[in-house]
A and B are shown apart, each in its own frame.
Chain A
Amino acid sequence: MSNPATNVNSVNYLEYTGKYKGIFAWIFSTDHKRIGLMYLWGMALFFIVGISLGFVMKSEMLNPGKDLIDAQTYNAIFTLHGVIMIFLVIIPGIPAVFGNFFLPIQIGAKDVSFPRLNLLSWWLFLIGGILAVMSIFLPGGPIDAGWTFYVPYALRSSTNVSVALLAAFILGFSSILTGLNFITTVHRLRAPGMTFFRMPLFIWSLYSTAWIQVIATPVVGITIVLVIIERLFSIGIFDPALGGDPILFQHLFWIYSHPAVYIMILPAMGIVSEIIPTFARRTIFGYKAIAFSSLAIAFIGYFVWAHHMFTTGISDFSRMVFSFLTFIVAIPSGVKIFNWVATMYKGSIDARTPFLFVMMFIFLFSIGGLTGLVLGNLATDVHVHDTYFVVAHFHYVMFGGTIMILFAGLHYWFPKMFGRMYNERIANISVFIIFIGFNMLYFTMFILGYMGMPRRYWDYLPEYQPLHIISTIGSYILITGLLLMIYNLVKGYYSGKKAEQNPWGGVTLEWSVPSPPPLENFEVIPTVEHEPYHFETHEEVK
């Protein structure tokens, strides 16, 4: 089947010029690759803002009492830090950037099922982000209710709760549409011969994630709508003064927000399943187990949400049920880790930068996951709930987990996306610095939490100060590492060495197209004849 206009594939997607010129060629583009990049730029910007907020918070915590900002400002800052990092960076995260860029290519398609809907998703992301930032400056001031906006405080706070929540609602829509697009694409646009069990594991993870995006997000959507109309009309749904039950709010909130963490981590695990075979030069151990574990995590992940609510006054019976289910959901994750390690056993390890990020991930995510068990256990949770222990736990899994793999994916697919290479030595040094800074920053928080330091507190007792100081110094080291990494990537983008089509020797379909890919990805849609990680039996695709 020949393209009606074959010149669409004679230049790469970055240089292609069509109907629109200049910036419009990007913001009106329905090309999944350009959309993926636009998400990357937006998310990078929001990530830097989020890190800066974290920097201010950590600096404030150097001493008890006021260092830089007052308590109200601190509350607004940790709220914004959460809202930005969660809704504008991590949840769009890997699906929005690498899912958009590589899902069609890895299944042998020219684009997603609904390219225009895809562009709409990005526009909603942008509008939501702008609204969220605007809410900081509008009269009333930035929202200070925590990213979790629990009632009744979210109903009472005089800050711009409604605008911020509206932004979150719009962002939720963006997420839903992306999920809808990906599910349809996986069902409809796989290349000839690519059965479900010949799909790369990254696709399995995106597929599982997409189902969570579609089914879980609407629940927080309705929660947001109800809080907004309760603020506007005193309708009497959550407000205890009117007969409402704040615990029901928490139920609805976490029915989404727990599955949301699987939206965050599943695609990351999918990328790990791509990187390890490539750099161990071995086919993945237990392909089907990993594929099914993604589905299992997505499914069981819906049923554990109340482990965020153990101390709120829900029934004893429900607490036992949810604690039990929480332990169950850890099992499929364990399956993945075991299979990854088994893949590396007797492999021929090529410890390049993406691989180093993955090793860091396995270490950090394991700590995060194991501490999740401490939180999932009813008896221990009572002591560490709402302390720095929780803060450490979720930073280990979200930052040490998802974000590190976002960095890994960036370093893995950089040559493919941009046709250039970065400086690997500097990249590896940045990994090392990040690792040191990260653990200094967050491991101390486990101890602080265990000692009783509450979360979201602007002030603290003097006995906590030494650990706070170590933690803050860790944050400065971490930020240094991040800046070095970003500098290296930007330099590589502008003046890096030209990259070959397949610098790592990968065998999935993206490595069979030029770096950067042409507009429609493939001259001819390939026919797939074997499983995705076929290192032992075939030469790598040149």
Chain B
Amino acid sequence: MKLISHYSLHHSFTADQTELPDLRALIAPWVPQRIRRIDRYIELCVAGGLNCVAGRPLPEDTGVYLATRAGAVSTPAEVMEGIFARQDTPMPLHFVNTLGNTAGFYLTQLLKTRGNTLVVAQEQLSFDAALMHAWLDLQQGRIHTALVGGFDEAALPLAQHARRLGVDAQEEIAEGSHWLLLSNDSSAVASVTLGNPIYFTDLTQTLAWLREQDVQHLRCAFTPSADEQSQLATVVCDVGVCSQTGISQGAFSGGSLIELCGWVEQNHKSGIHLARNFSQGNVGSYCALRVDAS
């Protein structure tokens, strides 16, 4: 998969903050008129997707693969408060904005795409899951261009949102929107190529695959445990960790992958992206992919 473009937006907040950054300035260069009726979850999708595409003409059949860990939160919470605390029925448009694919509707409308659109989640591997679906369709020739985005919102009030996420009140709360525009068109020019996402059931399998890669740089989309760190260091000499905070809180592993793509582009060397799902105390699974300089 050739990397045509990428875009990352990542914010972190403390639980006592009462305002979130305005995203409209990020949307305005591509859509001068204000988009009515959209909430923050949709704004994150639209801002990320439009800035990644950055005005490039897209084929109508471009596949759009959206990842979210939590889905829309602020609007469903507002609807729930209305029903149970105020005994009101939801406003029609509020209800529609609770649905998982409403964000994709606005984005595909603005991009004028009509092909395969999907919203998929897989906890901390959500971004990797969307990338997996895009790779499958690109590899099998169903599409030639794919837009992959992972986004999750931080819903106000942030102290409540911290409770939802199960994070400490002292810990920073993240929101983000991370995007890749990919192509398998032989004429496309790209300085970085991505391999296929590969899933592993445990670290042993992951290490076996890493040994075969002959790659010296690994970027983790998670904070490795001491055991993971030491085992990974036996097969890769340079183990880095994504610099962004709260990666595990949403579909944000794409932020780590994009950091790696920047490193590969700059250093003209290969690297490995590694993401991990380790939620609810379950044994984790891993997802890895190679990133090479073209």
Judge: A and B partners, yes or no: no
What is the interface of chain A, defined by CB distance below 8 A to chain B?
none
What is the interface of chain B, defined by CB distance below 8 A to chain A?
none
